[in-house]
Structure 1
Amino acid sequence: MTVPDHPPTVRRATCGRCRRPQATCLCALARPTPHRTEVLVLQHPQEQRQAKNSVALLRLSLARCEVVVGERFAPEVLQGLLHRPGRQTWLLYPDVPAAPAPAVVEADRPAEAAPRLVVVDATWRKSLRLLLEHPALAALPRLSLPAPPPTRYRAIRAARRPDQVSTLEATVQALSVLEPAFDGAPLLDAFEAFVSGVAARQRGGAHRGFAPPSDPSVGSG
């Protein structure tokens, strides 16, 4: 009998809903949050593989959230992703010298159009490259956020600048700008529980999964 040189690879069980290993399933943290803005996340492939990435929780909690993974898009494909009938598309990105925001003429905006928010989930360098290589993306009107509150993310992921926050936190803040009635507190509480779970695993503690927030009112919306 021939003995194989290497034992067969054991594949970890994966949750079909959040697409993560069962040991770190996020479904218990999902907080369905009412919103009217369509959210499109353009996610770099390297971010998709990050266990610390916040987009999975964002997608679970927002009904109108679409995640598309890639770093280069054909013009016709990108055009179809960015623009939808009856929607005013905004790019969540600061006005920076390397990729200045275009001038927006009020007459160009559809009257009473519901918003569509495009979010880039990538490192700063890779997100800038995405804009420079895709003129249709760079041409979108920008939504720049005011100084964000301190990020909960710093416990598990380093940031170069104090104003850098997770994709989830930035999206929640943007939705609050676009929809004054939007309540992102339950989602931020869930994100804090997610960060705590990741930090516990990084420390090698006994806590292996994600515990739902202790506040019983969280997720009631």
Structure 2
Amino acid sequence: MNRPSIPRRAACPRCLRPQATCLCALVRPTAHRTEVLVLQHPQEQRQAKNSVALLRLSLAHCEVLVGERFAAAALDELLQRAGRDTWLLYPDVPAAPAPPAPPVVANAPLRLVVIDATWRKSLRMLLEHPALAALPRLSLDTPAPTHYRTIRAARRADQVSTLEATVQALAMLEGASFDGVPLLDAFGHFVNGVAARQRPPL
């Protein structure tokens, strides 16, 4: 006997979330000059708590590529864009020391690469892709307090969400011309909504 099919929940065609958790009302279009490339681990794509969907919809120049391992030639093509210097948003860590980096030139066209994964998986992705490890690094020396701990545990005290880290990095690169406050406020509302759904019913 065939089992009855379970109807799939209707998804929003824009944010691809179930209608009950649609993100579109939270989207804050945010002007920026720096291109953003997010390399997203497949497990993060399936996380309801993940911040990249809101980031992608809010930034005009944001590309998200899902994968754990990337072919060297394809990755080189992604990382090297004509007319732009590419930087990796990642700390200088003993397991993967940062290469010597040139100074950031004010107003130069840039491309920022961000790894969206847990700390352990992001380090593995970095170590398995020499082209990533060779990029000059941008690191957040003193990350701002995160909203994320409300819904997701972190191993390191300085860990923040991918959205928060990217917004802080763009502020470092673009200065006063970049205003990430509305997007951070929207992310706070997103976190509060997730936390509310996680609370057990009274």
TM-score of the pair, normalised by structure 1: 0.87
Match of 2:195 among 193, 199, 203: 199
Match of 2:33 among 22, 32, 36: 36
Hey, what's the Cα distance between the residues in 2 that align with 1:39 and 1:150?
22
Shift of 1:110: 8.6
> Which residues in structure 2 correspond to 1:21-100 (within 5 Å)?
21-100=18-97
- Residue 165 (str. 1) matches residue 160 (str. 2): yes
Secondary structure of the residue aligned to 1:16 is: coil
Match of 2:13 among 3, 16, 33: 16
Secondary structure of the residue aligned to 2:158 is: coil
Shift of 1:199: 0.4
Shift of 1:20: 0.8
Matched-pair identity in %: 76
Tell me the matched-pair count.
Answer: 201
Match of 1:118 among 113, 138, 141: 113
> Which residues in structure 2 correspond to 1:137-152 (within 5 Å)?
137-152=132-147
Hey, what's the Cα distance between the residues in 1 that align with 2:106 and 2:139?
21
Structure 1 unpaired stretches of 5+: 207-221
Letter in 2 for 1:161: R
* Equivalent residue, structure 2, for 1:218: none
Shift of 1:104: 2.4
Structure 2 unpaired stretches of 5+: none
TM-score of the pair, normalised by structure 2: 0.95
Shift of 1:143: 0.1
8 Å contact 1:88–1:110 — kept in the other structure?
Answer: no
8 Å contact 2:28–2:182 — kept in the other structure?
Answer: yes
8 Å contact 1:86–1:110 — kept in the other structure?
Answer: no
1:59-84 alpha-carbon deviations (Å, 9 max, x no partner): 01000000000000001110111110
Computed over aligned residues only, the root mean square deviation of the Cα atoms, in angstroms, reads 1.7
Q: 1:199 to 1:112 in 2, by over 3 A?
A: closer
Shift of 1:113: 3.4
In terms of Rg, which structure is larger? 1
